[in-house]
Amino acid sequence: MFHKIDGAMSTAGRLLEDMRRAARGVSQEWLQKKNVQFLTVGQKRLAGMRMPVPAVIAYVSRKESVAAADLIPEELPFAAGGGPHMKTDVVALAGTPRAFGLEAGNVILASDQSYGVCTLTFVKNGVGYALTNAHVGCDIAGGGSFCGLSLVEPVTNRVMPVGPVIWSSGLAPGQVARSDAAVARADSFPVDPYQIFGVQQPLAGTSHIVPGNTTYWFMWNGVEFNCAYPETIAHPAAIDVEGMPIEYDNFWVLHMTKGASAPGQSGALLCRTDAGNSVIGCGIVFGGSAPNLLFAFSFDEVFNQIYAALP
């Protein structure tokens, strides 16, 4: 049998509501102060550690010296007329408050039940787009018809419609594939252009895969994988796509150095990091030989072709 704790919860609830009422009462004024983004009711921090002290917290875009009129008072009265006071706190936000949109590295699901990865999201002439592989975004076994794409949310696994595929590089038996890309128009879900899920820095530029010892990385659902030692294919090679052999050419074979290659990674954006923190997109993954080999096309020419083809 559970013990009744209605009284204790009621007391805490009243305190919370009193604090919310007081914070709401000053919100219009405080939100006009420099850098203030929003107010919450929580626990005061001391040297980054939360203390068992209730406080009204002002979240700011950054901490800096401000004029006296923009300072947050150290205390706030529960009532406008005075009386008991509560503590306040100021916390700097790590990023801009926004709704989460589709990003590179998110898992996507096509209407023919093919799973893959969003290579990149971008905007052209005010329209949002999501890039992935043609064999993810098109029903290859069904003749290459365009599918609808959905986001598989990273935390909830909810499937959220994104929009229809509107462009494909084409992929069919009897033809040699020198690209494997498709683009969906994001009619039903917002995109975060050039952002990679799990990576703070946005994409800074595009390039291509080069031979040598460069380490490339890609993100799948927030998890980082590494590969290196790219080898260029010497001839068209038959790759199994939905049970059909399709010849691919002009791609690279890379060796996994962190994590394993696996189905479901198709469409991932291969990146390198320049000058310490500049993220450069270099390849688009389309397959591999699990668990140690990854197949990818260079990215810059593919993306330039796609961008030019869109309205």
Q: What is the 3-state secondary structure (H, E, C) of 256-271?
A: EEECCCCCCCCCCEEE
- CATH number for position 233: 2.40.10.120
Residue 34 tokens, joined: 């420099």
Domain boundaries, position 161: 102-309
- Put simply, whether the predicted model's pTM sits higher than 0.85 gets the answer no
Q: How many domains does the chain have?
A: 2
303: phi > 0 → left, psi -120 to 50 → alpha, else beta; which? alpha
Q: Are residues 87 and 122 in the same domain?
A: no
Residues 122 and 266 in one domain: yes
Are 184 and 65 members of one domain? no
User: Are residues 169 and 87 both part of a single domain?
Assistant: no
pLDDT at 98: 63
Which amino acid appears at position 114 of this protein?
S
CA distance 260 to 274: 24
List of residues 6+ apart from 163 with CB closer than 8 A:
130, 148, 149, 184, 185, 186, 187, 188, 189
Look at residue 243 and tell me if it is in a domain: yes
Q: Are residues 38 and 184 in the same domain?
A: no
Distances (CA, A) of 234 to 172, 174, 176: 21, 19, 14
pLDDT of residue 176: 96
Does residue 33 lie in a domain region?
Answer: yes
Asked if residue 68 and residue 161 are part of one domain, the reply reads: no
Write out the two tokens for 242.
Answer: 């939905």
If asked whether residues 291 and 172 sit together in one domain, one would say yes
Q: Residue 305 has what pLDDT?
A: 93
Task: Looking at the structure, tell me whether residues 52 and 199 fall in a common domain.
Answer: no
- Report the alpha-carbon distance of residue 259 to residue 98 in Å, rounded: 31
301 falls within a domain: yes
CB atoms within 10 A of CB 179: 22
| Domain co-membership, 24 together with 79 | yes
Q: Is the dihedral of CA 285, 289, 293, 297 positive or negative?
A: negative
Same domain, 300 and 274: yes
50 and 117 belong to one structural domain: no
Are 173 and 58 part of one and the same domain?
no
1 assigned to some structural domain = no
What pLDDT tens digit does each residue of the chain (311 aa) get? 334 334 444 566 777 788 888 889 899 999 999 999 999 988 898 888 888 888 999 999 999 999 999 999 999 887 655 667 889 999 998 877 766 789 999 999 999 999 999 999 999 999 999 999 999 999 998 889 999 999 999 988 999 999 999 999 999 889 999 999 999 999 999 999 999 999 999 999 999 999 999 999 999 999 999 999 999 999 999 999 988 999 999 999 999 999 999 999 999 999 999 988 899 999 999 999 999 999 999 999 999 999 999 99
At 236 the pLDDT is 94
